[in-house]
Structure formats: C-alpha cells, structure tokens
C-alpha cells in the first residue's frame, strides 16, 4: 500500500501476449461460491507467499521495482498463470518521478546546544518536498509565524508577505503547516530572501490526516522547482527547532539535490477465456514491495490471494458469464503508477467494458481488522462511482451470511491504493483491507481480537514484512470473501447498478488523499 504518490508522467506502455483458459461451467443464477472458496486455501496462498519470500531472500531482501527481486516476482506470477492455463500479458511502462538524486541532509549545527543530524525518511525526521529547489546552505533558522502552539489547528504561518516583514535575508525560514498551500509559504519566503525553508507538521490530531508525523508535501502547482531547498519535518522536530530558535538561537545545515528521473516497471495481466468482454471484472493487487523489505503482507498477500483465485477458477473450469481479468500492478509503492498506466492505456471503449474493479492490498495483517471499502459513502461521506455501494454490500453481506457471522468495518477510499485510477475513470470499485500502520482501537480489539494500541501491521514498509508477518486467520477469511465476490460478479447477469457504461470522470465528492500534502 502506497503511503504517497509522486506520479508525474506515464508513458511508453507496451504489451506482450494475451490470455485463454479452458472452461465448462456452473450457472449464474443464485451462484453458489462454496466450491471456489474451498479451492482457495490458506496453504495455496502461503505457497505463493513463501515463493515471494524466497525471491526476496535471493535478492537483497526486496522486491522493489527496478530490482532483480521484482523481475523474479514478475517471472513467478507469469509462470504460475501459464501453468494454470492462462496466457498472461506483460505490460511495460515508464514514468518520471521527482525524487532525491543524492540523500538530503538536515542538521542543527549551532552552539550552545549539542549538534544534531536529523534522519531522512518516512520513519525519520524529515523529507524533501516535491518540487523543492536544490541547494547547500548553512544559516540561522528564523521562525515565521503566526504559530499555533500548543497546536490546535488553523496556523497561518508564512501565508502572507506581511509575515516576513522583519525577516532577515539569507536565513532559513521555519514555518508551521496550516491554512495555506506550501507553495504560497515558499514563494513568500523566496520573495523575502530566504536561503531555505523548513515546514513542520501542524501537530493537531484530526481524523482523516496525519498532522503529527513527518510532513510529506509537494509544492505543486505549479510543477516547477522552487528557487531554494525545502523540506518537511514532523511536528516534534519543528517544535524542538522553534523552541531553540526563539530562545538560544539555532543554525542549521540544509542540503537538497533532487529532480526528475525516469523509472521503468511492468504490470502482469491475465484474462479468462470465457465471459462477456463488455462486462469485465478486474481483480487487482500490486506486485512490488518497498525497497526496505520483501513486502510479504504489503502486498504479497493480495498478490497471492488473486493468484490463488485464478488457479482455483482454472482448476474448477469456471466459465464465467463476465470476463475476469487478474491484474498484478507494478510501481504501486512509487505512487500507484502501474494501475494508472494501465487505465491510461485503455481507449474509451475499453473503459466502458470494465464493469468494476476489486482491489486487494494487504489482507493478511497480523493485528487485523476486516475492513471493507466504503463504496456508498455512508461512513466517510465520499462514495465511489455508481455501483461501488453494491460492491461493498456483496462483501458485507457475505461476512454476515456465514454460519458464524463475522463483523466488518468500513474503510475510506483515501487514494492510497490501486483502485484510485479506476475511480478517477468513473469505474465502480471496492475491495478488502486488513490494516497498515494505523493503530487498533480498544473497540476493534474487542471485536476482532489482537492488541489495542498496536499497529495493524507493525512491520508495514519495513524489512520485517516477511512470511512470518502474516495472520493466517485473516488470510483465510479475506481470501474466502475475495473468492466469493469474484464469482458473484463473474456470474451475474444483472447490471451492477449503473456500471454498464463507465463515465469518464469520478464522482465530484471523491477526494484523492493518498498523494503528497499540498497544504
């Protein structure tokens, strides 16, 4: 699951091969999914997970794009699909990414405080802002208010030129996140003669955003670099610097060398031979890991689940009423890029032929919750394109219908996984999620078990996301639900509530929250 998105340009999409599968089949009316669910086993899923782990073990512990580990992962999925009777397509694509070319540096260098070097990264102290300028400066840090400390929200720090009325040219400006775009703050700082900018997170707790951790921001629009280096920090780092700067003073060293680089990756696509091509059901999971680890929950769990479903459908010789497409996306961890490249490669006619997208990104989290995407917007107020509510109900009704009903919880379409490209194209979407870095509440622990106060997945985006980092109960329950929904939509002869023709744009109230923060 991507924590951010830095997609800028998607280009050079190419394809190799198509797909078939022999079939002979059950009927669509009152579809019984028990045989498929029985054929989709935890043992089969773990077989794929162990294979992905072995690939990572043989390749420096990672399956990130542009590494041998990712290449071997593609080969593994292609081989498994071919062995099941499919003819998978490999779709290559390239994209431009704004990224650090050399590691950025941020340090406090002044006396009388001890000098301190801050750690770069999502789990560290600071990140380079997208479209930061380059530079290597050592200068006094100067706070530019108005600040809201202790934080309650609503800081307008650096939002007007008047805030810089007494600013000393050549200093590095320290500002708090708040009510205006980061670009406005930075443009004001440049006009005042600042040599660099440090923007720290706001610090207040809000339900749908991270205003405490490391600030992952962008200066877009416009998509042109600033004139000076710009970084974002956590609230804790910013508050520390503010207290020092307003008492004893603080000098900092700030170095950024960033820009656009061209990256390459691949998707793997496979279709059932049978089924209406104008009502295609797309099952998606991303195949890549982050560079830091093997990505066996994120997202080996989704990859293994849909691969197991594909194999089970072939084994049972399912002849679907509607074509089923199994998609394994590349470069999700770089910003949902593979799925976007795929959607961008489709013609208007192709888009209209996609009935819906089911997304499975992290379904084996060790401290799991059975999250179902909030397709009708009843929980979070942001519904997906027409038909998304029907997808949500298929999942929730399934869990409720079990001999021992299982509880579910809604999760927001927050733009952090590959459904987003489909939603943006007006295609209904839904799926399952067992939790990432979020913290399990006491109420959730009472319902789902596990440990309150701990992350759903403490190894999210880390080296410890191995085949030991999986909850097989979650895999069992979520894969059964995934198999059920797949077959229900594969066999239905009814319209999925408005999905016979996908519109060219998503619902107006659908917000993309997975990208970098802009304000």
Strand, helix or coil for residue 519: coil
Answer yes or no: do 132 and 158 share one domain.
yes
What is the CATH classification number for the domain harbouring 25?
A: 3.40.630.10
Q: What confidence category does residue 503 fall into, taking pLDDT thresholds of 50, 70 and 90?
A: very low
Q: What confidence category does residue 207 fall into, taking pLDDT thresholds of 50, 70 and 90?
A: low
pLDDT, tens digit, for every residue of 59-102?
999 999 999 999 999 999 999 999 999 999 999 999 998 999 99
Mean pLDDT of all residues belonging to the chain: 91
Answer yes or no: do 54 and 138 share one domain.
no
Position 17 pLDDT exceeds 70: no
Catalytic residue among 332, 392, 437, 444: 332
Strand, helix or coil for residue 441: coil
Instruction: Give me the pLDDT at residue 208, please.
Output: 57
pLDDT, tens digit, for every residue of 238-265?
999 999 999 999 999 999 999 999 999 9
Answer yes or no: do 75 and 160 share one domain.
no
Answer yes or no: do 344 and 399 share one domain.
yes
What's the rounded mean pLDDT across residues 223-232? Answer: 94
Q: Is residue 255 part of a domain?
A: no
What is the spatial distance between Cα 379 and Cα 253, in angstroms, rounded to a whole number?
Answer: 45
**Which of 188, 220, 249 represents a domain boundary (last residue)?**
249
Position 321 pLDDT exceeds 70: yes
What is the CATH classification number for the domain harbouring 182?
A: 3.50.30.30
Q: Is residue 258 part of a domain?
A: no
**Which of 249, 281, 299 represents a domain boundary (last residue)?**
249
Answer yes or no: do 244 and 128 share one domain.
yes
pLDDT, tens digit, for every residue of 449-478?
999 999 999 999 999 999 999 999 999 999
Q: Is residue 1 part of a domain?
A: no
pLDDT, tens digit, for every residue of 415-432?
999 999 999 999 999 999
HEC letters along 327-375: EEECCCCCCCHHHHHHHHCCCHHHHHCEEEEEEECCCCCCCCCCEEECC
Higher-confidence residue of 517 and 71: namely: 71
Q: Hey, what's the torsion of the CAs at 270, 274, 280, 282, to 10 degrees? A: -30
pLDDT, tens digit, for every residue of 188-204?
999 999 999 999 999 99
Tell me how many degrees the CA angle 74-78-84 measures, rounded to the nearest 5.
150
**How far, in whole angstroms, is CA 184 from its chain's centroid?**
27
What is the spatial distance between Cα 56 and Cα 44, in angstroms, rounded to a whole number?
Answer: 19
Number of Cβ within 10 Å of residue 34's Cβ equals 12
Strand partners, 358: 283, 430
Answer yes or no: do 403 and 358 share one domain.
yes
Contact, 203 vs 211, CB < 8 A?
yes
Counting runs of H as helices and runs of E as strands, what totals does the chain give? 12, 15
pLDDT, tens digit, for every residue of 365-388?
999 999 999 999 999 988 899 999
Whether 311 sits among the annotated catalytic residues: the reply is no
What's the rounded mean pLDDT across residues 385-410? Answer: 97
In which domain, by residue range, is 180 found? 111-249
Q: Is residue 508 part of a domain?
A: no
């Amino acid at each position: 699951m991507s924590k951010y998105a830095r997609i800028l340009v998607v280009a050079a999409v190419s394809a190799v091969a198509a797909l078939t599968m022999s079939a002979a089949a059950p009927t669509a009316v009152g579809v019984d999914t028990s045989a498929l669910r029985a054929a989709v086993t935890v043992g089969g899923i773990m077989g794929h997970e162990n294979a992905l782990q072995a690939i990572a073990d043989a390749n420096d512990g990672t399956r990130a794009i542009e590494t041998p580990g990712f290449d071997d992962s593609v080969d593994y999925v292609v081989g498994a699909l071919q062995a099941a009777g499919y003819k998978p397509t490999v779709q290559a694509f390239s994209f431009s990414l704004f990224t650090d070319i050399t590691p950025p540096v941020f340090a406090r260098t002044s006396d009388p405080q001890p000098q301190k070097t801050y750690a770069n990264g999502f789990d560290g102290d600071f990140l380079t802002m997208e479209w930061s300028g380059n530079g290597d400066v050592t200068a006094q840090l100067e706070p530019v208010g108005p600040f809201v400390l202790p934080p309650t929200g609503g800081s307008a720090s650096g939002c007007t030129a008047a805030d810089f009325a007494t600013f000393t040219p050549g200093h590095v400006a320290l500002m708090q996140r708040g009510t205006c775009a980061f670009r406005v703050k930075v443009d004001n700082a440049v006009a005042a003669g600042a040599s660099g900018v440090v923007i720290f997170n706001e610090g207040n707790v809000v339900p749908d955003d991270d205003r405490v951790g490391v600030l992952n921001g962008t200066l877009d629009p416009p998509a042109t670099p600033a004139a000076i280096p710009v970084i974002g920090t956590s609230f804790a780092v910013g508050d520390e610097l503010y207290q020092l700067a307003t008492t004893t003073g603080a000098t900092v060293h700030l170095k950024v060398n960033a820009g656009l680089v061209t990256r390459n990756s691949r998707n793997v696509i496979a279709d059932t031979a049978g089924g209406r091509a104008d009502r295609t059901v797309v099952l998606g999971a991303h195949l890549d890991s982050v560079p830091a680890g093997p990505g066996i929950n994120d997202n080996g769990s989704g990859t293994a689940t849909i691969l197991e479903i594909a194999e089970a459908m072939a084994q049972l010789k399912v002849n679907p009423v509607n074509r089923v497409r199994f998609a394994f996306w590349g470069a999700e961890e770089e910003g949902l890029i593979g799925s976007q490249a795929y959607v961008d490669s489709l013609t208007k006619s192709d888009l209209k032929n996609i009935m819906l997208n089911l997304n499975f990104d992290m379904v084996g989290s060790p401290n799991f919750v059975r999250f179902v995407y909030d397709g009708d917007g009843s929980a979070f107020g942001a519904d997906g394109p027409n038909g998304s509510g029907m997808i949500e109900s298929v999942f929730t009704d399934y869990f409720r219908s079990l001999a021992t009903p299982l509880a579910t919880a809604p999760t927001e379409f927050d733009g952090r996984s590959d459904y987003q490209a489909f939603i943006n194209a007006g295609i209904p979407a839904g799926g399952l999620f067992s939790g990432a870095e979020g913290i399990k509440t006491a109420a959730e622990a009472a319902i789902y078990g596990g440990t309150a106060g701990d992350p759903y997945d403490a190894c999210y985006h880390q080296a410890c996301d191995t085949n030991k980092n999986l909850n097989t109960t979650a895999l069992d329950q979520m894969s059964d639900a995934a198999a059920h929904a797949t077959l229900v939509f594969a066999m239905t002869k009814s319209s999925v509530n408005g999905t016979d023709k996908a519109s060219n744009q998503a619902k107006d109230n659908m917000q993309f929250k997975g990208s970098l923060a802009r304000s």
